[in-house]
Amino acid sequence: MGRAKFKKPPEPGGAWLVTFSDLVTLLLTFFVLLLSMASMDHSFITRVTIMPAELGFLDKRGAGRVTAKVALVSQFLERPWEVLEKQNKIKDLLFPDDVLPPDMDRATLNENLKVLAKPEGVALVLTDKLMFPLGKSELDDSAKMLLYQFVPVLDYLGTANINIAGYTDNVGGMSPSNFKLSGDRAMAVLTFFVEQGISNTRLTVSAYGPTYPMYSNTTPEGRDQNRRVEILIKTTPHMGGY
């Protein structure tokens, strides 16, 4: 029987180099990707993630669900030391153009709505131009549309007590009618909030009449600003009078 011939395997040539170069290329690609991720602009990521999702939802502190917009406004109101620099943002979040009353423009809103820091929390200050006919205490429809935007925020801040204070200008001086008008206006706001489901155990009313003016009563513009309702949301411990 003849001896079987040994068949020599083919020469590998340079084919293995192709496979090795592919491996090196893949490793370099992963290295560049990891390097890119490590040097990414994290400030940009932060700015994106904290923007409110107008249609998104977050868990409410108690029960139910609230929009991320409401949660963000509530966070601002819980930090009174920030509200002066954030008040325009708060106004824009609470009152986008599509919820403003038809007969009200943004300039009028900004002129007659203020967000102020107080020792006990944050005060939302609305002049009577946004709330009542001159000398009256019945909320008009535009006022109800504005106040309704506060309701989800007040509901979200379920542990915060709320004081609603009425003020007048100095026309008529310290007459009982000025104190009555300021009290009736504050009560009208309180009644509206109760009707919207805010617990009356959280609400108190104050009637200050012409006392504690914010502006000089010597000009019509000052008197306009002094006729106001302040909604004080008590989110910080009381540290003294104001």
Residue 59: the pLDDT is: 38
Average pLDDT of the chain is: 81
Residue 163, exposed/middle/buried by CB under 10 A (0-12, 13-18, 19+)? buried
β-bridge mates for residue 127, sequence order:
228
The terminus-to-terminus CA distance of the chain in angstroms comes to 118
pTM of the predicted model, to two decimals?
A: 0.72
Lowest-confidence segment of 76-80, 209-213, 235-239 by average pLDDT: 235-239
Residue 156: the pLDDT is: 94
H or E element, residue 23: helix 15-38
How far apart, in Å, are the Cα atoms of 234 and each of 156, 162, 198? Answer: 13, 6, 15
Amino acid, single-letter form, for residue 189: V
Q: How is the chain split into domains, by residue range?
A: 59-234
> Mind listing the pLDDT tens digit for each residue in 152-203?
999 999 989 999 999 999 999 999 999 999 999 999 999 999 999 999 999 9
Q: Look at strands 161-167 and 203-207 and give their pairing.
A: parallel
- The fold adopted by the segment(s) 59-234 is 60s Ribosomal Protein L30; Chain: A; (3.30.1330)
Residue 181, exposed/middle/buried by CB under 10 A (0-12, 13-18, 19+)? buried
Say if residue 3's pLDDT is above 70: no
> Mind listing the pLDDT tens digit for each residue in 41-85?
443 333 332 333 333 333 344 445 678 999 999 999 998 888 888
Residue 106: the pLDDT is: 94
